Every structure is written in structure tokens, then in C-alpha cells.
Structure 1
């Protein structure tokens, strides 16, 4: 450990002793210059305590259909009660909670309308699909210790994402396709695929990314590889403009020919041995100097750490497989698989996705 590291550790120890001191806490509240900081930290700590209730308010608001009801025009509480069938006094409790979280807002006449978060949801309906899907995660997190320790074996998320049996192929493909539009927009805005001749999207679901890529690069040859049941869905959705291949990238060879491949929110669904196998299959498929574009949330980035490490950390724990990785961890797996280099690519919105480019020798 270097001098800078020791200094940083000493600062952390000093900071923690100070913040844990009742005397300092009283001083921070009493001292005018520190009072705003104390209040902000208190609010942040309470938000950690209350976060689950916030998510349930969001879930109930979306599940009840309030976003759609208020998208066209504001409505009064009695009008909303009539539409939802809820007793007025019970609905008002939810409305007040949703306003406090800026999901809804009040007009000057006292009616309810969309808040800043509700308006964003209205413009991104795929987010609402994930919110309603989260009842599976919420059920699993009734035992968070079991989920994190790996002792809870009856997780509903694990059953839902049953890739091996493909029982939920249609349902999970539809769920992923909605959010894929936002991710595709980030990927295509951040990386120029026109430098390639033939791109294959591995684990490409119903082809949402390929459709967006075709619209941006009409002369680019495009292919998709996914599980057979999912590939059939993609074939119906895409038509004959694309090459569609069914199989498992963990056991089957990938089709030769593409000079670039994309992995969009695929690697983080799998554990290290599977990712190493996948990377090896892609490296063997690509020609010398070929490119792999990997798009997914990355660990170790402070700005997106709550998304990558807290949200996805628990989500993958409930799934029973997968994890978010740092760029260094991804590079270690890719290097073992025979890749020659890795380069981060800046995206407009890293909350939606981060991007890495890996190249073959």
C-alpha cells in the first residue's frame, strides 16, 4: 500500500469516528454552517431506511394505472377513485405518497397530474413493464439474507429467467425488448458500426437492437444468435433482411462471417466460467482484428454504483447467477479467452448502459 492509500484509509477511520460521535452529531446540528450538511445526511440515511416503501409506492402507482389515467389531463381524487374502484380515503393515501416522491403532482386547483418522474415514465413505457415485473423480486426479497447468502432456493426470479428450459421465452423476450430500445439508442449513438461489414448480435432477443442498427446503417449486414425458442420469435419479428441463428452460445459454435459482434446485457447474466466460454466462442468466430462491443452496467464506477452494485447486485442474487463486473474483471476474462485489447467507450447516459470494445489479435 502506498502513501496515498494509507492517508486515504486514515482519513476514512477519522471520518467514521467523527460521524459516530454523539457530541459531533449535536455540534453539526447546532452549528449553522454544518446544519445543512447534517440535514442532508440525515435525509440520505432515512432514504436508505425507507427505500423499500418508496419502491412500493411506485409499484402501486404504476400497477393501478395512474400514469395512463393522468397522461391526458389532470383528474381530481374523486374522479380517480371512481376509475380505480378504490375507496377515496385509501386512494388519497397513495396519491399523497406519490406526490411526495414526485411521481405525481398537484395542480393549482388541487387536481392530480403527472410529476417529473411520472412524466418520464409516460415517455418510457418499458420502465413501467419492469416496475410491474418487480413483484417477483419483491417476493424474493422478503428474505434478503437468504437471497444474499444463497440459501433461499425458491426464488421466483430464478424460475422466471429459466433460459435452459426456455419455458418463459416469450414473456422474458417481450420484457427485455422494451428496455432494449433505450440501450440500443445509447450503443448506436456511442459507437460507429459503419466501419464494419457484418455484425452479429449474440443473445439478441427479438431483434430490437438489430432493427435500430439497420435503420441507422442500412447497408450493414446483420445477424442474430439466441436460444432456439427466442430465435423463432426474432425470425417472426425481423423477417428475411437478417440472418437468424438458433443455439446456445455455451455449447454451440457461433456462425462464421461477422467481423463484429455485440453482447448487449448478456455477460452480466452469467457467472465467470460461462462468460469465459462465451468470450472464447466469440474470439474463435471473429477474424483477426475483429471487434466485440459489450454493453451493460459496469461495477466500480461511482456515478452508477447504486444501479450496478446495489440494484443489479440483489437482482442477480435472486436470479441465482450473474453479476456486474468492473472493466478490469471483464478484461481478465477476455484476455483468458484470447482477446488482445479492451477500450472503454463513453456513452451519453451510463445509467442506461456502459460500453466496452474488445478486439481480437
Structure 2
């Protein structure tokens, strides 16, 4: 521990003693220069307390169809109540809650329209798919302690994402595809695939990313590798545009021939030994100097830490596997797997995904 680190630790300890003291809390509210900060901290703490209620307002708003209902024109309380089939007072309760969270907004005439968050949802309908999917997560999080401690072995989310079974293949593939267009746009804006000859998307789901890559780079040869049930969905979507290879990237050898591979939102779903297997598999498949583009939410970035470490932390606990990793962690694992270098490629929106370029020795 360096001098700067020790000094910071002493400062944090002193700060916490001060903030926890009832006398200081009372003083901060009474002293006008401190009052705005005190109010802000109180609001932030309450937001942590009320976060689940906020998420339920969002879920109810989307589930009831209010985003679609108000997308084209404002409606009165009576009109929304009539269309939703709810009593007026019950409808108003939800509308007021949604307005308070800026999902909806009141017009000058008192009607209801989309707020800034509602308008963003209307422009990104894939987000609504994930919001309605979250009822599974909410059930699993009714008591989060058994999930976080590892005592709870079975969960609804774990069953939904069970790739070893086929009943949910079409459903989970459709859910992933709902957001894949936004992820694909970030990857294709961040990295130029035109320098390559042949791209293979490992764990490529229904082919949404390859379809986007084909649109931007029509001369690029394309291949997709995924589990048999998922690969058949991709085959129907991509037709003759890509070679489809069914199999498991954990147990099967990958087909050779590509000089660039993509691994999109796959590594964070798996434990370290599994990630090492897939990275080793890909490094053996690629030629010397070949490239792997790994894209997923990256831990260790302050601006996205609540997403990667809080949200995904609980989500993966409910899944029963997986975790987000820093670029440094993935770089170390990649080098053990046979890659010579790891480079962070900046993206326009790290909330959607981070991108790493891994190069084979």
C-alpha cells in the first residue's frame, strides 16, 4: 500500500465517522451551505431503498402497453383508463408513478404523453423485451441472500438460460436477438472488419450480428458456430449468406479457416474454467496473427459499475453462473489461452458493451 492509498483510506474512515454521527447529520440539515448536499445524499439513499418499487413501475408501464399507447399522441386519464380496462383511480396511481420517474409526462392540458425515458423506450423496443422478461428475475430475487450465498441451487432464471436443454432455445434466442442489433451497431462502429477475409461468430445465436456485418461488409466470408438447436434458427435466418456449424465451444473443436472471430456476450455467462476453454479453443482455431473481438459489459469502469457489478452481479447469481470481468482479467486469461495481446477498443456507448481486441501470437 502506497502513501497515497493509505492517506485515502484514513480520509474515508474519517468521512464515514462524520457522516454516521447523528449530531453532524442534524447540523448539515440546519447549516444552509450544507443543506443542498445533505438533501441530495438523503434522496440518493432513498433511491437505493425504493429502487425495486421504481423498477416495478417501469415493468407495469411497459406490460400494460402504455409506451405504445402514448407513442403517437397524448391521451387523457379517461382515455388511458378505458383502453387499459382499469378503474380510473387505479390507472391514475400508475400514471402518477410513471410521471414521477420521467417515464411519462403531463402535457399543458393535463393529458399524458411519453417522458424522456418513455420516448427512449419507444425508440428502442428491444429494451421493453428485457423489461418484461425481468419478472423471472424478480421472482428469484424475492429473497436475494440465498442466491448470493449460493445456498439456493435452483431458480427460474437458471432454468430459462439452461443451454443444455432445448425447450427454451427459441425463446432465449429471440430475447438475445432483441438487443443484438444495438450491440452489433456498437461493435461495427468500433472495429473495422474490412481488413479481414473470413469472420466466424462463436456462440452467434440467431445470426443477428452476422447479418449486420454482412450489410456493412458484403465481401466478408461469414461463419457461425452455436449449439445445434440455436444453429438451426441461425441457418433459417442467414440462409446461404453464412456457413453454419453446430456444436459446443466448450467441448468441440472450432472449424478452421477464419482470420477473425467474435465472442459477443458469451464470456460473462460462464465461469473462469469455461472461459479458459473457449478462449483456448478460439486461439487454436485462428491462424498466427488472427484476431478475436470480444464484446460484453466490462467491469472496472466507474461510469458503468452499477450496471456491471450490481445489476449483472445479481442477474448472474440468479442464473447460477457467470460474472463480469475487467479488461485486465480477460487479458490475463487470454494470454494464458494463447493470445499475445489484449487491446481495449473504445465504444460509443459502454453501457451497451465494451470491446476487446485479442491477437493470436
What secondary structure is seen at the aligned counterpart in 2 of 1:323? Answer: coil
Structure 2 counterpart SS, 1:350? coil
Does residue 162 (structure 1) correspond to residue 162 (structure 2)? The answer is yes
Aligned to 1:61: 61
Gaps of 5+ in 1: none
The corresponding residue for 1:248 is 248
How far 1:332 moved relative to its partner?
A: 2.0
Q: Are positions 1:261 and 2:261 aligned together? A: yes
Q: Distance in 2 between matches of 1:282 and 1:46?
A: 46
Distance in structure 2 (CA, Å) of the matches to 1:31 and 1:258:
66
Alignment of 1:342 with 2:324, yes or no, is no
**How does 1:270-289 map onto structure 2 within 5 Å?**
270-289=270-289
Using the size of structure 2 for normalisation, the TM-score is 0.99
Deviations 1:328-356 (A, max 9, x none): 21122112111111011110000011111
Displacement of 1:15 in angstroms is: 1.2
Q: How many positions carry a matched residue from both structures?
A: 361
In the TM superposition, residue 4 of structure 1 has moved relative to its aligned partner by 1.2
Measure the CA separation in 2 of the matches of 1:138 and 1:78.
31
The answer to whether structure 1 residue 231 and structure 2 residue 226 are counterparts is no
Determine whether 1:359 maps to 2:359: yes
DSSP 3-state at the match of 2:27: helix
Q: Which residue of 1 is the match for residue 310 of structure 2?
A: 310
Structure 2 gaps, min length 5: none
Displacement of 1:149 in angstroms is 0.8
Indicate the RMSD between aligned Cα atoms, in angstroms.
Answer: 0.8
Question: After TM superposition, what 4+ stretches of structure 1 lie above 6 angstroms from structure 2?
Answer: none
After superposition, give the CA deviation of every residue in 1:148-180 in whole Å (9 maximum; x if it has no partner): 111112310000001011221100000000100
Deviation string 1:288-338 (CA, Å, 9 cap, x unpaired) is 011111110111111000000000000000000000011121122112111
Corresponding residue SS for 2:339: coil
Which residue of the partner structure matches residue 173 of structure 2? 173
Distance 1:143 1:158 in 2: 16
Equivalent-residue separation in structure 1 for 2:67 and 2:248 (angstroms): 39
Residue of structure 1 equivalent to 2:200: 200
Counterpart of 2:43?
A: 43
Please, what TM-score do these two structures have when normalized by structure 1?
0.99
- Write the distance in 1 (CA, Å) between the matches of 2:335 and 2:163: 27
Aligned counterpart, 2:139: 139
Matches of 1:360 and 1:3, distance apart in 2: 39
Matched ranges for 1:10-89 at <5 A: 10-89=10-89
Task: Look up the match of 1:182.
Answer: 182
